[in-house]
Amino acid sequence: MEKEQNTFTVVNDAGEEVICEVLFTFESDETKKNYIVYTDNTLDKDKNIKVYASIFNPDKENSPLTPITSEKEWEVIQNILKSLQEK
């Protein structure tokens, strides 16, 4: 996994610009896709920081973020997040 220290801006459903922080990116051997895991540093109802993940193309500058729609892909991401929390 590659750790990055950068931010990017997205436009939310209300049309507002939101700054997001990249937590890490990785390529899955299982799915053969690249993922970006990021946060907007807001809290959920349990006071945990909200974390998001999307598919992206690391070879394309300003790659559009593609939603993850498969359960298999979400399982891969959740397993990585769990392993990071255990460290």
How many folded domains does the chain comprise?
A: 1
Domain containing 77 equals 7-86
pLDDT, position 33:
95
Q: 26 in a domain, yes or no?
A: yes
The pLDDT averaged over each successive group of 10 residues in the chain (87 residues) is 70 92 92 95 94 94 91 92 83
Other CB atoms within 10 Å distance of the CB of residue 38 = 23
Q: 2 in a domain, yes or no?
A: no
pTM for this predicted structure: 0.83
Rounded (5°) CA angle 62-63-68: 140
In the block, tokens 């973020």 appear at 65
pLDDT, position 4:
45
Other CB atoms within 10 Å distance of the CB of residue 36 = 21
pLDDT, position 54:
96
Q: 40 in a domain, yes or no?
A: yes
pLDDT, position 84:
85
